[in-house]
């Protein structure tokens, strides 16, 4: 019976037993659970039951269900009486199965007590081994095993674990006592202590426990068991467990199960051992048996690092028979579970026992390789292969990384705003960054925050570090778009622009000092930390090809420059979903022309300045059309408020006035008059074109002329898509569409070249979504600008929300940062509404998204379900979006 | 047959004939139209037909329908041939009816050609009298009438009108010619010219027309008629007509009708006259016959003011029989139409003819009086009485007004932001305004724009004048709330704060100079213009009582002070729907404590400062509870971002640092760190309380303690409603509600006083509306904050939209300023959705609105239809809202 059919069969049972059965036995005599019952038995318990049912040697035991954990807390942290009665019954069953008796010095049954939640929470909760030992049973164990050393080693371990986990004693007290005794005895390893040393140690330990806690160490095994079960349930709510669940989206309500299992002993002598292993290399994905073991040790020793474990393949020499069996079992487990397994085993007197199997965690690189290789091995289907790789994790593969072996000194930690690594000399202005670049020096641009005027500096810096702003601040968004490393909102750093220094906890660095950023963790390091370049494997390409085969959504890119466009094409983008024309305005040779246009006092002057901009824009567009060679290119007309292009300081204003030959005071008053209280909600987007039609007219003409140029020169068929931002009413779009069409038609008539084009709009205001049926009548396509739609729907400024967003996420008000992953209930509701309304008016309406959410896997899945045609994201997110889109398609079917 | 039954009968006919019949005859032989057919016949045509059908003497004629106007424009400004054929047929019918022939010198038929749109557009379109005259028919008319003077006076009038209206000639050319001839002849009045003078004048006129236009004056009556009809249709699209329609919400598509009617002559001698009159006094509403007439004149003369007309009652002496008949007719007309009528009449050789009747325009004062008196006379029902008064117009009655007879010199004109009149000396800072107030001097506060920090100055100034911001700018909103006169956005004025001067078109005024504001027109006058105080009549009170009887919506008020509350109560408010607690924070003795709270570095320091604020807030609330004596009082907890309370200039920051004994640099950096890019979408509202729970906790405590205080001291039952702003998720409200309840319960427990209270939320974010079902589960009430809901839904900053809002309204993108009247399709959609979702979760959810829209009649009607329980508006808008609510209720049934 393989896992799937076992799941199917047992699910019914799981459903019916869920409400009544609290304790589930597993052993050769009969097993109540299976792998599908993780919700009730936890991952560990479910897999132990499953392994037994497929004939793998597992010490028998029983699992107290997760439902009891809930009851435990409801009853004020008390184990319900009925459950305890069930536990006693199962102990009897276990005694029969093992032929031993709990607390019987003649032949004592010892058990382990372990937590096991539905989702793996490694190291987060507690474990007690060797439970059932007291002075008498320890003596009995020594006699039966003819191994006093083993018996008292087990005993002292039990006292250590129990006193810590159940009695709440600081574990270092007994650790220190043990070290003291090792010193006295001249012992290097624990194994150097004799049986007699260990027997005395258990006495000393018990005394220490009494001295420290004021309580006698419990000697009755049933009392020990009851205490241990309660302690495991309580460990569900330790602060570290709570934090772990928050970080990993595990609901508090799930609770943990408790597994009570007959002990087997890897510490019973040199014919015993314990180990952990993976069925494939979790770091590279290579198909080889990978793990470690220790002779004469209990499981904890391998992980604890007290002794240095040996590679698992060496077990072949040490215990050939056990190794042979282990290889057979791991192969069987991987086939059965159809995924790479992370296993724990113990050999007791040459007999192999399996203590755990679970799906192994792996690096992104390994995940890709394992998925593709298992597909080739026909172990899994294409759909499964796609689902085996976390799209988020691909980010790691696309950017340079810090060499994991390199030494480093951490200076501060901010938000991991854009992945990758960057090393360079500190500069504080974009101009300095350019100067450094001209001199062939690498720089890191350090700013309190960035603005569109900094882009030229960001483009030439190796990385960007800001002290303010969140994951979706200007710096973060632009850096991700550029595929450039960025650490944002690093509040510990104070910048003094005047002195050109940055200070972090008393340590001051000046311009020219070197730092290294890790955009994947948000860390800032002193000096240079070596990096390694990413190499995309053939497996990666195979996975992407597979994704494209299955996905329904188109994946386009947000790109403003031919370089961005080329990168995105390399990563598989099927066109440009958003080209922000304003980014072309900040170029140093253009910005003054742009400013001339803005300060113009009348339409004629404005048109004159726009005439100068036209050839520049035309050449920009032509380059993009060439680069995208026939793929759609969606160009958004001017969006930001005009004041973003003007200088703000008195000196800059004075300089500009001189350059433009106008009165300084007049320019200053123009700058002041353009000031806005809430620029996000101000005079921007299509509102600019309603008041100054000549701006969009110039841009429409530039687009049309660029199309003509490329069609003539390159014989390419170009179909531009003109996108009008910030539309709130159908009338706005109708007015601007007409103007735009008229400009394009004029160019077509004049050139004699005809081409198709689309005119569409961004849906980024709630009102646009609510009236999408009307807007669709005058739009060829919709592109959701989910950044701004999130800002307006939630009334949440992206640039200002940093001050409270953490509190909102940590208090569970927002599940995730809504600028990172779309708020499905609120913003998503409007997206769905607009898609439905839009298609009702125009069934073939093309609908996509071009906000930051286009590269977020959870959001991509949502957009797939909402019926969008495409997503558009920054170039480095294209592979993530492709995989996420494929997963969405696979999950839906 | 009265009007109602006539309407009912004829409606069917109107429906069926609408598509086919283009020309409608009216005359003793038979009449095709009636008063209900205004859409087809225009107001004038419909009423002429109606008058004939009830036996009133009206010269016969026919009406070309409004549908022809549409066709006329569709056909490129050409009269359709079929229509012209119909016109010819109707001319024949008219000739038969009158026993005269068009163009026949022996017995010439003359006609008037007048426009007549569905809605009255007085003076906006053109009229031609005496059409059909040429040299021959003029001579014939002279002979038949035995009155050459009359004939040639008619002829010269015709040439004047026709050359202007049809031939596009500047009318002043012929006016000047006539004045020249009067000078030569020594004539004072037109009537001093002899028949011969006038005959010669017609020759001169025709010559002048040829010289000026290059075209011969048409002599064939049918050509004259065709030209006149076309000219009337064209007058529908003159700039002034277009502007008038825009201002009065009249759709361009309606078109005008053309009325061709047999001429009767008030200028046929001293037994002839012409006049206009109202059935009641349109200025006061008094029930008396009110109007003017002229002997031996045509209609235009009365209006033109060339001769001074006499009171209509004097007609009794001059022409007793005609007067008797006129009195009978006007009485019949008022009864028939059941409303005050505006009539035009002509007496030709002692025979009375009615030329027009229509519902008379009236002042707000008259509207109220007429409605109430007609109700008493049982002429109209209560519902009709309520509908007879335009709620908008009540504004005029509630504020002091400029004395209409006072002399004035206009300085500039801004937006009429808050009605009333104000006279005072110019001050440029709120502090100066306070100083002036202390010295007993009246001031007008002149600012570029106002902010919450200016409120203390606004409170003591007589009026507020700003050079920036629109109808819903801070200054406008606060001023309306205070019932204080405000002229906003007066861009012609430049303020120099440093020199303490304001300059308007070269004219500079300095601090202390006097100006007068008219908040009803937006005018600014030099020096003092006398004002008159409003007196509310008994009729006004009766109307309000009637409104309360019929309205379904509760009308509450937005009030922050006991004074506001008292005013609102006087105007009939049924409670406080919005008390903005932050307005209490700006008081000079409190602001520093508030600032201390804001700059606190930790919770303890913040709580210390809040402890100091508590007694102040408590006393504020207690006063409001007392003033409202048992009516509900809804208190909104702190809403604005904290930086609004901090000083911004370096010097102010330094002073504050000294006062608070903290480091200036630290304070400065605190101020900078609180800066927000988009404060509207920033760290404000309930977000403050999520990060700093102690703020709302203090406010909740202050409310509860105030309730206890008032209940103990005054034996009043107080039921406070605590309102939490800017909620976007149910979880926010759930968290804050719990904290709030806990504070209130603590106070109740400590004091032993128990009382009921409600905790609700503002719905002012799209996300809140979209998830209202969830929010309702933790809210006792919703109050729509439609100001912010408009800002977020439309992505439109109230403070910044001034730059383009005019363009949006004038291009028809917005029908009205969405901050003045709610955007029903977008924002309104969310309101309705939220009401439905909220009530689905909680059927007894109380739902109201507290944005500025609560005082806008069109919005009030919308809220009534959306099923809200109440609206809340500024005190001076309460009567408007009451009437609007009653009208909404009456209209719905």
Q: With CB atoms and an 8 Å threshold, state whether A800 touches B728.
A: no
Give the pLDDT of residue B893. Answer: 57
Averaged pLDDT, B259-273: 93
Model confidence over A782-822: pLDDT tens digits?
999 999 999 999 999 988 888 898 889 878 899 889 999 99
Q: Name the residue of chain A whose CA is nearest to B807's CA.
A: A691
**Range list of H helices, B343-404:** 364-376, 382-387, 395-398
Give the pLDDT of residue B866. Answer: 96
A277 DSSP β-pair partners = A291, A343
Model confidence over B829-872: pLDDT tens digits?
999 999 999 999 999 999 999 988 999 999 999 999 999 999 99
Residue found under tokens 């598989």: A572
Query: Measured between alpha carbons, how far apart are the two ends of chain B, in Å?
Result: 25
Distance between CA atoms of residues B831 and B764, nearest Å: 9
Does the pLDDT value for residue B15 go beyond 60?
no
Give the pLDDT of residue B405. Answer: 84
Active-site residue identified among A69, A485, A579, A850: A850
Contact A720, A699 (CB under 8 A): no
Residues 6+ apart with CB under 8 A from A829: B770
Does the pLDDT value for residue B11 go beyond 70?
no
Q: Give per-residue burial for B713-724: e unless 16+ CB within 10 Å, then b.
A: eeeeebebbbbb
Averaged pLDDT, B426-439: 90
Q: Name the residue of chain B whose CA is nearest to A676's CA.
A: B800
Q: Name the residue of chain B whose CA is nearest to A766's CA.
A: B793
Q: With CB atoms and an 8 Å threshold, state whether A795 touches B680.
A: yes
Phi-psi region of B750 (alpha: psi -120 to 50; beta: other; left: phi over 0): alpha
Distance between CA atoms of residues B585 and A55, nearest Å: 75
Q: With CB atoms and an 8 Å threshold, state whether A795 touches B767.
A: yes
Report residue B455 CA to chain centroid gap. Answer: 27
Smallest Cα–Cα separation from A116: which of A69, A79, A75, A159?
A69
Does the pLDDT value for residue A672 go beyond 80?
yes
Does the pLDDT value for residue B705 go beyond 50?
yes
Report residue A619 CA to chain centroid gap. Answer: 39
Q: With 0-12 CB in 10 A as exposed, 13-18 as middle and 19+ as buried, what is A545?
A: exposed
Residues 6+ apart with CB under 8 A from A661: none
Model confidence over B759-786: pLDDT tens digits?
999 999 999 999 999 999 999 999 999 9
Give the pLDDT of residue A68. Answer: 95
Averaged pLDDT, A148-163: 93
Instruction: Copy the structure tokens of residue B559.
Output: 């009030």
B172 band by pLDDT with thresholds 50, 70 and 90? confident
Give the pLDDT of residue B788. Answer: 97
Residues 6+ apart with CB under 8 A from B829: A770
Residues above pLDDT 70, as percent of chain B: 96
Contact A129, A263 (CB under 8 A): yes
Does the pLDDT value for residue B341 go beyond 80?
yes
Residue found under tokens 């209206």: B165
- Model ipTM value: 0.81
Best interface-test mutation with A: which of B800, B808, B819 has the largest number of A CBs within 10 A?
B800
The lowest-confidence range among A238-242, A346-350, B302-306, B647-651 is: B302-306
Give the pLDDT of residue B13. Answer: 47
Residues above pLDDT 90, as percent of chain A: 68
Averaged pLDDT, A351-361: 93
Distance between CA atoms of residues B340 and B367, nearest Å: 9
Residue-level length of chain A: 893
From A683, A731, A797, residue closest to B813, measured CB to CB: A731
Q: How far is A416 from chain B (nearest CA, A)?
A: 22
Give the pLDDT of residue B14. Answer: 46
Report residue B267 CA to chain centroid gap. Answer: 39
Give the pLDDT of residue B582. Answer: 85
Does the pLDDT value for residue B514 go beyond 70?
yes
Give the pLDDT of residue B799. Answer: 85
Average pLDDT, chain B: 90
Distance between CA atoms of residues B421 and B444, nearest Å: 11
Smallest Cα–Cα separation from B747: which of B771, B724, B767, B722?
B722
Q: Give the H/E segment covering residue B384.
A: helix B382-387
Q: How far is CA A485 from CA A458, A459, A462, A517, in A?
A: 10, 11, 7, 7
Model confidence over A197-215: pLDDT tens digits?
999 999 999 999 999 999 9
Give the pLDDT of residue B663. Answer: 87
Q: With CB atoms and an 8 Å threshold, state whether A811 touches B676.
A: no
Does residue A474 or residue A556 have the better pLDDT? A556
Q: With CB atoms and an 8 Å threshold, state whether B729 touches A829.
A: no
Give the pLDDT of residue A396. Answer: 75
Give the pLDDT of residue A240. Answer: 74
Give the pLDDT of residue A215. Answer: 94
Q: Is position A643 annotated as part of the catalytic site?
A: no
Q: How far is CA A121 from CA A117, A118, A124, A241, A353, in A?
A: 7, 9, 6, 8, 23
Model confidence over A307-330: pLDDT tens digits?
678 899 999 999 999 999 999 999
A700 band by pLDDT with thresholds 50, 70 and 90? very high
Does the pLDDT value for residue A469 go beyond 80?
no
Judged by a CB distance cut-off of 8 A, whether residue B814 touches chain A is yes
Q: Name the residue of chain A whose CA is nearest to B689's CA.
A: A804
Q: Give the H/E segment covering residue B176.
A: helix B171-185
A18 band by pLDDT with thresholds 50, 70 and 90? very low
Residue-level length of chain B: 893
Model confidence over A633-667: pLDDT tens digits?
999 999 999 999 998 888 889 999 998 888 888 88
Instruction: Copy the structure tokens of residue A230.
Output: 């309660």
Distance between CA atoms of residues A733 and A778, nearest Å: 7
Average pLDDT, chain A: 90
Does the pLDDT value for residue B4 go beyond 60?
no
Model confidence over B531-564: pLDDT tens digits?
887 778 999 999 999 999 999 999 999 999 998 9
Instruction: Copy the structure tokens of residue B101.
Output: 């022939």
Q: With CB atoms and an 8 Å threshold, state whether B770 touches A732.
A: no
Does the pLDDT value for residue B337 go beyond 50?
yes
Distance between CA atoms of residues A556 and A846, nearest Å: 13
Give the pLDDT of residue B481. Answer: 65
Q: Is position B399 annotated as part of the catalytic site?
A: no
Chain A segment 213-242 residues within 8 A of B by beta carbon are none
Distance between CA atoms of residues A133 and A155, nearest Å: 6
Chain B residues touching A801 at Cβ < 8 A: 681-683
Residues 6+ apart with CB under 8 A from B769: B763, B789, B830, B831, B833, B834, B837
Does the pLDDT value for residue A16 go beyond 50?
no
Give the pLDDT of residue B520. Answer: 82
Q: With CB atoms and an 8 Å threshold, state whether A678 touches B678.
A: yes
Cα three-residue angle B363-B365-B369, rounded to 5 degrees? 115
B121 band by pLDDT with thresholds 50, 70 and 90? confident
Chain B residues touching A808 at Cβ < 8 A: 687, 690
Chain B residues touching A811 at Cβ < 8 A: 690, 731, 735
Give the pLDDT of residue B306. Answer: 60
Give helix then strand counts, H and E, for chain A.
Answer: 35, 33
């Amino acid at each position: 019976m393989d896992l799937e059919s076992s799941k199917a069969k047992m699910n019914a049972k799981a459903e019916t037993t869920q409400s009544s059965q609290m304790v589930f036995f597993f052993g050769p005599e009969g097993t109540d659970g299976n792998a599908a019952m993780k919700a009730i038995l936890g991952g560990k318990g479910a897999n132990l039951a499953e392994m037994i049912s497929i004939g793998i040697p597992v010490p028998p035991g029983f699992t107290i269900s997760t439902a009891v954990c809930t009851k435990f807390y409801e009853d004020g942290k008390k184990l319900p009486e009925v459950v305890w009665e069930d536990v006693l019954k199962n102990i009897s069953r276990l005694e029969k199965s093992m032929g031993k008796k709990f607390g019987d010095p003649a032949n004592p049954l010892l058990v382990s007590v372990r937590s096991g939640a539905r989702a793996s929470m490694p190291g987060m909760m507690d474990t007690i081994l060797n439970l059932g030992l007291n002075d008498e049973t320890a003596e009995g164990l020594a006699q039966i095993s003819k191994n006093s050393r083993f018996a008292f080693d087990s005993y002292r371990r039990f006292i250590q674990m129990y006193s810590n986990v159940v009695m709440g004693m600081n574990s270092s007290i007994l650790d220190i006592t043990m070290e003291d005794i090792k010193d006295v005895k001249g012992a290097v390893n624990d194994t150097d202590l004799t049986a007699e040393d260990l027997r005395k140690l258990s006495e000393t330990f018990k005394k220490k426990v009494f001295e420290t806690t004021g309580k006698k160490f419990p000697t009755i095994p049933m009392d020990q068991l009851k205490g241990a079960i309660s302690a495991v349930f309580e460990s569900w709510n330790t602060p570290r467990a709570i934090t772990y669940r928050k970080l990993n989206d595990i609901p508090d309500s799930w609770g943990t199960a408790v597994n009570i299992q007959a002990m087997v002993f890897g510490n019973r002598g040199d014919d015993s051992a314990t180990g952990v292993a993976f069925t494939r290399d979790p770091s590279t994905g290579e198909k080889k048996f990978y793990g470690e073991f220790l002779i004469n040790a209990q499981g904890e020793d391998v992980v604890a690092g007290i002794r240095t474990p040996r590679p698992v393949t060496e077990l072949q020499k040490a215990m050939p028979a056990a190794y042979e069996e282990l290889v057979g079992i791991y192969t069987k487990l991987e086939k059965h579970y159809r995924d790479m397994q992370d296993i724990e085993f113990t050999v007791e007197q040459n007999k192999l026992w399996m203590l755990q199997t679970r799906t192994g965690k792996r690096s992104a690189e390994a995940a890709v390789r394992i998925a593709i290789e298992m597909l080739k091995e026909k172990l899994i289907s294409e759909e499964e292969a796609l689902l085996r790789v976390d799209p988020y994790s691909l980010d790691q593969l696309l950017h340079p990384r810090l060499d994991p072996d390199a030494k480093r000194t951490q200076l501060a930690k901010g938000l991991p705003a854009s992945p990758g690594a960057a090393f360079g000399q500190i500069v504080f202005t974009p101009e300095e960054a350019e100067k450094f670049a001209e001199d062939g020096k690498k720089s890191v641009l350090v700013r309190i925050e960035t603005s569109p005027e900094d882009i030229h500096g960001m483009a030439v810096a190796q990385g960007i570090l800001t002290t303010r702003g969140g994951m979706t601040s200007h710096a973060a968004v632009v850096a991700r778009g550029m595929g450039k490393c960025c650490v944002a909102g690093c509040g510990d750093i104070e910048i003094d622009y005047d002195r050109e220094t940055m200070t972090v906890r008393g340590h001051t660095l000046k311009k020219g000092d070197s730092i290294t950023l890790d955009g994947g963790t948000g860390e800032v390091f002193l000096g240079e930390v070596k990096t390694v370049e990413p190499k995309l494997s053939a497996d990666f390409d195979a996975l992407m090809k597979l994704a494209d085969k299955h996905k329904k959504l188109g994946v386009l890119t947000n790109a403003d420059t031919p370089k961005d466009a080329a990168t995105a094409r390399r990563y598989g983008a099927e066109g440009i979903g958003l080209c922000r024309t304003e980014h072309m305005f900040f170029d140093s040779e253009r910005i003054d022309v742009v400013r001339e246009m803005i300060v113009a006092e009348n339409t004629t002057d404005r048109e004159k300045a726009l005439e100068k901009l036209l050839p520049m824009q035309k050449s920009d567009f032509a380059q993009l059309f060439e680069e995208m060679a026939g793929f759609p290119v969606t160009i958004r007309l001017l969006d930001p408020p005009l004041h973003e292009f003007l200088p703000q300081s008195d000196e800059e204003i004075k300089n500009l006035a001189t350059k433009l030959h106008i009165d300084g005071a007049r320019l200053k008053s123009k700058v002041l008059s353009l000031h806005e209280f809430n620029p996000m909600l101000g005079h921007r987007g299509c509102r600019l074109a309603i008041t100054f039609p000549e701006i969009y007219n110039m841009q429409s003409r530039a687009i049309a002329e660029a199309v003509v140029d490329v069609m003539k020169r390159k014989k390419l068929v170009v179909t531009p898509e003109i996108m009008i931002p910030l539309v709130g009413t159908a009338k706005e779009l109708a007015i601007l569409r007409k103007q735009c069409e008229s400009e394009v038609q004029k160019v077509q008539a004049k050139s004699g070249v005809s081409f198709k084009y689309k005119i569409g709009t961004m849906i980024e205001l709630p009102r646009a979504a609510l009236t999408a049926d009307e807007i669709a009548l005058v739009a060829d396509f919709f592109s959701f600008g989910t950044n701004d739609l999130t800002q307006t729907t939630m009334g949440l400024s992206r640039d200002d929300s940093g001050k409270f967003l953490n509190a909102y996420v940590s208090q569970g008000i927002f599940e995730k940062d809504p600028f990172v992953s779309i708020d499905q209930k609120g913003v998503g509701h409007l997206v769905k509404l607009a898609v439905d309304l839009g298609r009702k008016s125009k069934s073939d309406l093309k609908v996509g998204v071009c906000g930051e959410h286009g590269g977020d896997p959870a959001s991509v899945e949502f957009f797939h379900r909402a019926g969008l045609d495409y997503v558009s994201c920054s170039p480095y997110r294209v592979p993530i979006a492709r995989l996420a889109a494929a997963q969405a398609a696979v999950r839906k079917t």
